[in-house]
Amino acid sequence: MPATAFEYHAPSTIQEAVSLLSQYGGEAKILAGGHSLLPIMNLRLAQPKALIDIGRISGLSGIREENGTIVIGAMTTHYMIESSDLLKDKVPILPETATVIGDVQVRNRGTIGGSIAHADPAGDFPAVAIALDMQLNAVGPQGERSIKAREFFVDILTTALQPDEILTEIRVPAFAPHTGSAYAKMANPASGYAIVGAAAVVTVDGNGVCRKASVGLNGITGKPVAAVSVEQALVGQRLNDQTIQEAAAKAADGLEALGDIFASAAYRTHLARVYTKRALTRASGRV
């Protein structure tokens, strides 16, 4: 089925894009890589009056380091992340995750900003955004603001972004010494989307004791979540099979898992624990 008719704009500045979004009063959509938006438009689950293509706005794409913080433009593609030497060195969980998104075509067109703004519960980057405590910068009619990843995801396909705001930039601190990370997912064999995924980042001190643990989970509920009980169980512990197993057992605490044609709620709850353990085991091995 083709999408319903829409107007198309390709502004050359962010201000122009924001003003177009305001003019349409919530009836227009930003177009980034189009790999989530166009399929749902063809299914007529979204029928925007206009698409605002931000692909011609300079400065929205690229990866750089600024005083120990990694800054990634919202229009940076999955492929650019997968192949970035800077990220492999400073925040390796990002390229690791990008390599397991969809297929080559999806990775060449899809963007990290689109993935985070779309907030698909089965999307990979949203869980990683939580584990990395990403700072998400957006521009709207009132100017710029910064939203923490843990406050950004509101519900299924719903974020803290207002309809006239554009996600412009993602900021992540470069890893502290003695930090390890990993992303593990059970992938849908057809699309690659996560049935359940876990992103883990752990930092230990000179004695091997865990000082910081961050775990983001996707696929379990309608939005990516932080596994706070797991994080709390790890801090102050030496990371080994037993402490990781005990902490991972808490992965689904307080969560009401979704069930669908891919996995029942009970199976998703089980997978949450299994993939949290896998991600933590790999992350601690990489410290």
| Residues found near ligand FAD in the complex (CB under 6 A) | 29-37, 39, 74, 101-102, 106, 110-111, 113-115, 117-118, 120, 123-125, 161, 166-167, 191-193
Nearest distance in Å: CB 69, ligand FAD: 19
Nearest distance in Å: CB 218, ligand FAD: 8
- Residue 60 has, within 13 A of its CA and on its CB side, a CA count of 26
Nearest distance in Å: CB 185, ligand FAD: 8
- Residue 108 or 237 with smaller CB distance to ligand FAD: 108
Q: In what order do the strands lie in the sheet with 135-140?
A: 63-66, 69-73, 166-173, 135-140, 143-148
- What's the one-letter identity of residue 190? A
107 Cβ neighbours under 8 A, 6+ residues apart: 77, 78, 79, 82, 98, 99, 101
- Residue 18 or 239 with smaller CB distance to ligand FAD: 18
- Residue 180 or 197 with smaller CB distance to ligand FAD: 197
H or E stretch at 246? helix 241-248
Nearest distance in Å: CB 115, ligand FAD: 4
- Residue 52 or 226 with smaller CB distance to ligand FAD: 52
- Residue 97 or 284 with smaller CB distance to ligand FAD: 97
Nearest distance in Å: CB 131, ligand FAD: 14
Spell out a b/e string for 2-29, using b for 16 or more CB atoms within 10 Å of the CB, else e: ebeebeebebeebeebbebbeebeeebb
**Spatial CA neighbour of 62 closest among 161, 169, 190:** 169
